Amino acid sequence: MVETVLLAHDFSPSSERALAYAVDVAQRSGAALHLMHVDQTAEGVLFEGGQAPPSDELQERFKDRCRTSLAPHPLSPGDEQVACHAVRGVAPAPLLVEKAQALGADLLVTGTEGRRGARRLIVGSVAEEILRTAPCPVLTVREQDDADEGSPYVEVEKVIAPVDFSERTETALQYVSQLSSLYDAPVQLMHVVEDASLPSVYEAKSSKVQARAAEDRAEAELQSLGEPLVSQGVSVSTLVRRGETTDTVVQATGEPGTLTVMGTRGLSGVQRIMLGSVTEAVIRASSGPVLAARISPSDAD
């Protein structure tokens, strides 16, 4: 159950869009909503004709800006449900992760930059570090493209969970159940069968036969995974596709009204530089929100 939500707020377009989703989650769940801003102006640096403001003034300025940001929404900094936190620091991600740990946050919400071409290979350094190190699931919301129209918030109409039947699947399904209830939305469980690569010289039609059998097994397994959800009254459908995993998942999860839930491997040390190519690709491309939940390093062994 979501009881505490922490939003990383830097007033960028993606952050303002993330705010809308954070407010919606807080409204639906009754959770406390914490907005946090990390000011990267160093002490002693000139700021608006003088020195950088002291911490208490920084806090008041942030609260005023939050009041403006929240004006279109049903919550305000004056509500008991809302808290605003402003700190000064060089590296935002570690401070946000530290705050999430201190609050016991159940969800950390952050915007990610919308990038095109080669620049789109990068999720965004702050969001990327948060995704790798946060102690709780992270909901990412990408900046809208110029071609996108309408409200920055699009109501969640479907929850989709791409699964690979590894330990990540169990992690993702824990949150799928909660989110489908929160949004009263149907769930789609998805799996991609990689194209078979055996040359046809080994056996006529062997690749097609193997792929068909794999699809049938995947469909049966998805049906089995969906049974506990169905018993809870959730509408569940399944989708098995054949192709290259990353591109196929991206194509199936990119709609604005789709909330994608993905389990990611929890790693430590140097290995933590890798989040997961499929998850990163979905976050970069999806017009809808993406929730990434890491399994713990011990569970990954």
Quick one: pLDDT at residue 120? 38
pTM of the full predicted structure? 0.85
What class does CATH assign to 154-301?
A: alpha beta
Q: What is the pLDDT of residues 40-85, one digit of tens each?
A: 765 544 445 555 566 788 889 999 999 999 999 999 998 999 999 9
Give the 3-state secondary structure of residue 131. Answer: helix
Tokens 């989110």 found at: 179
Quick one: pLDDT at residue 129? 87
Quick one: pLDDT at residue 212? 83
Q: Residue 198 and residue 19: Cα distance in Å, rounded?
A: 48
With residue 142 as reference, give the H or E element that holds it.
strand 138-142
CATH number belonging to domain 1-153: 3.40.50.620
Tokens of residue 110, six digits = 């952050």
Q: CATH topology of 1-153 equal to that of 154-301?
A: yes
Q: What is the pLDDT of residues 154-181, one digit of tens each?
A: 899 999 999 988 888 888 898 999 999 9
Q: What is the pLDDT of residues 216-262, one digit of tens each?
A: 999 999 999 999 999 999 999 999 998 888 889 999 998 889 999 99
Check pLDDT > 70 for residue 18: yes
Q: Return the domain boundaries, the chain.
A: 1-153, 154-301
User: Is the CB of residue 36 less than 8 Å from the CB of residue 9?
Assistant: yes
